[in-house]
A and B are shown apart, each in its own frame.
Chain A
Amino acid sequence: MLRSLIRLRTFAAPYLTTLLLGVLAFLGARVLEALVPLFLARGIDSLASGSYDVLLPVLGITAAVAGRFVVVSYARITVRKVGQNIGFDLRQRLYAQLQLQGSEFFNTYTIGDMMTRAVADIGLVQRLVSMGTILLVILVFAAIVGFSFMMALEPTLTLLILPPLPFVFIYAWYASRKMGVASRDVQDRLSDLGTHVQENLSGIRTIQAMVQEENEVRRFGATNQGYADAFYEQARINSAMGAWMPTLTAISSLIIIGYGGSLVLAGTMSVGVFTAFFFYLAMVVQPFRVAGFMVNLFQRAAVAAERLFEVFDLAPEIVDRPSGNTPRQITGKIDIRDLSYRYPRSAEPALRDITLHIEPGEIIAIMGRVGAGKTTLLKTIVRLLDPPPGTVLIDGHDAREYPLSQLRSQIAMVPQDPFLFAEAIRSNVTYDDPARDADQVWLAAEAADLKQTIEDFPARLETIVGERGVTLSGGQKQRATLARGLIRNAPVLILDDCFSSVDTETEEHILSQLKHLRHGQTTLLVSHRVSTARHADRIVIIDDGRIVEIGSHADLLDSGGYYRELERIQREGATESDYASVGAPG
Chain B
Amino acid sequence: MKNQSAGAAEGKSVPRRDHAMFDAELSAKALNVQLLRRLLQWIRPYRLTVLVSSVLILIASALQVMLPVVTSIVIIDHLFIGNTDHATPDMGMVDATDWIIATTGFPPLIAACVLYAVLHVAWAVTSHLHRLTLISAVIKGLRDLRLDLFRHLETRPSSFYDRVAVGRIMTRVTNDIEALYELLRGIGTLIGEFVPFFVALVIMLAVDVELTIILLIALPIMGGATMYFRRVTGQLFRLVRQSVSTLNQNLQENLAGLQVVQLSDRQDRNLAQYTRINEGNRSLEIRSMNIETLYGAFTDSMASIALGVIIWYAGGSMVQDQISLGGIILFTRFIDMLFHPVVVLGEQTNILFRAMASGERIFQALDWDERIHEPDQPAALPPRLHGSVEFKHLDFAYTPDIPVLRDVSFTINPGEKLAIVGPTGSGKSTLIRLLGRFYDFDDGQIFLDGIDLNRIHTHDLRSRIGVVLQDFHIFSGTIYENIALGNSSIDRDRAIAAARTVNAHEFISRLPSGYDTVLSERGQNLSQGQRQLLAFARVLAADPEILILDEATASIDTETELLIQDALRKLTHGRTSILIAHRLQTIQEADRVLVLHHGRVKELGTHEELIALRGLYYTLHTLQFQDVSDEELDSLA
Interface set of A (CB-CB < 8 Å, partner B): 36, 39-40, 43-44, 47-48, 52-55, 57-58, 61-62, 64-66, 68-69, 72-73, 76-77, 80-81, 84-85, 87-88, 91-92, 95-96, 98-99, 101-102, 106, 111, 114-115, 118-119, 190, 193-213, 215-217, 220-221, 224-225, 227-228, 231-232, 235-236, 239-240, 242-244, 246-247, 250, 253-254, 257-258, 261-262, 264-265, 271, 274-275, 278, 369-370, 382, 384, 404-405, 408-409, 412-413, 415, 417, 419, 421-422, 431-432, 434, 475, 481, 484, 500-501, 503-505, 528, 531, 566, 569-570, 573-574, 578-579, 581-582, 584-585
Contact = CB atoms under 8 A, between A and B. Distances in A.
27 contacts: A43-B314, A48-B81, A48-B325, A54-B312, A57-B308, A61-B304, A61-B305, A73-B297, A77-B289, A197-B173, A204-B161, A205-B473, A210-B542, A212-B475, A215-B485, A217-B151, A239-B131, A242-B127, A247-B120, A261-B79, A262-B109, A412-B263, A415-B260, A421-B257, A431-B266, A573-B588, A585-B500
A52 B314 CA distance: 8
Interface in B96-122: 109-110, 112-113, 116-117, 120-121
Contacts of B606: none
Interface stretch (B4-12, B13-21, B164-172, B230-238): B164-172
Given A203-B521, A573-B585, A73 B294 contact: yes
Interface string B536-568: 001000100000000000110111011101110
Interface string B578-589: 000000110010
A98 B265 contact: no
A408 B263 contact: yes
Interface stretch (B217-225, B245-253, B342-350, B395-403): B245-253
B79 A503 contact: no
Contacts of A566: 558
Contact of B305 (A62, A198, A505, A584): A62
Given A40-B332, A370-B557, A432 B110 contact: no
Contacts of B377: none
A392 B176 CA distance: 56
Contacts of B307: 36, 40, 61
Contact of A206 (B329, B472, B567): B472
Given A48-B325, A504-B626, A236 B132 contact: yes
B511 interface: no
A408 B254 contact: no
Given A221-B147, A574-B562, A261 B166 contact: no
Question: Is chain A's binding surface mostly helix, strand, loop or mixed?
Answer: helix
A581 B563 CA distance: 10
A229 B151 CA distance: 20
Contacts of A39: 308
A409 B265 contact: yes
B462 A210 contact: yes
Contacts of B503: 584-585
Contact of A257 (B75, B279, B294): B75
Nearest to B265: A405
B153 interface: yes
Nearest to B548: A209
B145 to A, nearest CB: 10
Interface residues of B, number: 144
B512 interface: no
A584 B125 CA distance: 70
A503 B116 contact: no
A369 B71 contact: no
B624 interface: yes
Given A193-B174, A246-B124, A254 B113 contact: yes
A314 to B, nearest CB: 13
A579 B473 contact: no
B256 interface: yes
Contacts of B258: 98-99, 101, 106
Contacts of A57: 308, 311
Interface stretch (B135-143, B193-201, B385-393): B135-143
A258 B462 contact: no
A278 B155 CA distance: 61
A44 B467 CA distance: 85
A199 B166 CA distance: 9
Max chain A Cβ within 10 angstroms of own Cβ: one of B140, B301, B503, B558: B558
B436 interface: yes
B178 interface: yes
A244 B124 contact: yes
Q: Which 8 A-B pairs have the closest CB atoms?
A: A203-B473, A54-B315, A199-B521, A503-B626, A206-B473, A61-B308, A432-B264, A43-B311
Interface in B298-345: 298, 300-301, 304-305, 307-308, 311-312, 314-316, 318-319, 325, 328-329, 332-333
A10 to B, nearest CB: 19
A504 B623 contact: yes
Given A215-B485, A573-B588, A220 B147 contact: yes
